Chains A and B, each alone.
Chain A
Amino acid sequence: DAKTTQPTSMDCAEGRAANLPCNHSTISGNEYVYWYRQIHSQGPQYIIHGLKNNETNEMASLIITEDRKSSTLILPHATLRDTAVYYCIAANSGGSNYKLTFGKGTLLTVNP
């Protein structure tokens, strides 16, 4: 799996958009970009994933650059409950090779 690089921490004001960057310059063509978050030592929670195109769901948007070497997770209106560690992961899709490799992630703190 490709290595990902994320900032250690970020701050965001409540109600504003949170933009979390991730670098995955060695990502291979069959690897997806996944985002998970972990709130206060609970089990990680899936947020979103994508291959080439930008993706949006009820939680967030994922913007992947055309060369796929980096991506940005966008939480459009951050709330205090979005304070968590966010993990960006590059992994193959499904099958016996599907394993998530977690780095240290980005601690996002949403401030009132």
Chain B
Amino acid sequence: NAGVTQTPKFQVLKTGQSMTLQCAQDMNHNSMYWYRQDPGMGLRLIYYSASEGTTDKGEVPNGYNVSRLNKREFSLRLESAAPSQTSVYFCASSDTGGAGVEAFFGQGTRLTVV
């Protein structure tokens, strides 16, 4: 049982390049999330998907797009990378329900934009 898997683990991009961060979960969760974490800071929500076929903006969506490809997969795309997007990106998933839910996080993608 792999949980939440992110690829790649590390990436270096040049300013202006594009790339897609991949995330997959094997827990049959409805909801998936993308966060970024800058040095010394907490995690900030970029986008989330409450269920297959829906996506919504989080706190810091500018410069990103997402695709909920199916129930398992939620990708994050940087169309034109900027140095300000240098960060660690975490994907997470959770079930939906009324009694409090636990979110599961991937191990992160460390992105550097030069």
Query: A: which residues have CB within 8 A of B?
Result: 32, 34, 36, 41-46, 49-51, 87, 93-96, 98-105
**Total A-B Cβ pairs within 8 A:** 77
Residue in contact with A42 in the complex, picked from B4, B94, B108, CB distance below 8 Å: B108
Chain A residue with the shortest CB-CB distance to B48: A99
Q: Are A102 and B50 in contact (CB under 8 A)?
A: no
Main secondary structure of the interface of A (DSSP, over half): loop
Q: Report 24 cross-chain contacts, Cβ distance below 8 Å, ordered by A residue.
A: A32-B100, A36-B103, A41-B88, A42-B107, A43-B90, A43-B106, A46-B104, A50-B100, A51-B100, A94-B95, A94-B101, A96-B96, A98-B31, A98-B50, A98-B96, A99-B45, A99-B48, A100-B92, A100-B103, A101-B45, A102-B35, A102-B42, A102-B43, A102-B44
Of listed A43, A49, A105, residue having the most chain B CB within 10 A: A43
B62-114: which residues lie under 8 A (CB-CB) from chain A? 88, 90, 92, 94-108
Instruction: Give CA–CA (A94, B94) in the complex, Å.
Output: 8
- Nearest first, the 10 A-B pairs at minimum CB distance are A43-B105, A102-B42, A96-B50, A102-B43, A94-B97, A94-B96, A46-B102, A32-B100, A93-B100, A49-B100
